[in-house]
Amino acid sequence: MSASNMSREQWIELFQAAGLDEAMMHKWHCEFERRYPAQHQSFLQWIGLSTEDIASVRNSSQAG
């Protein structure tokens, strides 16, 4: 991981520290996907998710 990237685990820790639970994190992804789908894709790549994990997160986010 380069200095400019954060891992999935770091984002989850940050969200949890800010008080977000699983449902709130899912809502965050849904809004990100709905409003900015291309940027959501880029974000998921930036945090190092696999192609399969990105597809899963985006499909779940689109489903609501």
Q: What pLDDT score was predicted for residue 1?
A: 45
Q: Cα-flanking dihedrals φ and ψ of residue 34, to 5°?
A: -70, -45
The answer to whether residue 49 sits within a structural domain is yes
Number of domains into which the chain is organized: 1
The model's pTM: 0.86
pLDDT digits (tens, 9 = 90+) for 2-48: 557 899 999 999 999 999 999 999 999 999 999 999 999 999 999 99
Which stretches of 1-64 are DSSP H helices? 8-17, 22-35, 37-46, 51-63
Q: What pLDDT score was predicted for residue 64?
A: 87
The answer to whether residue 10 sits within a structural domain is no
The answer to whether residue 56 sits within a structural domain is yes
Mean pLDDT, residues 44-63: 96
The answer to whether residue 38 sits within a structural domain is yes
Give the residue with greater pLDDT, 1 vs 42. Answer: 42
List the domain range (segments joined by +) for residue 31.
Answer: 21-63
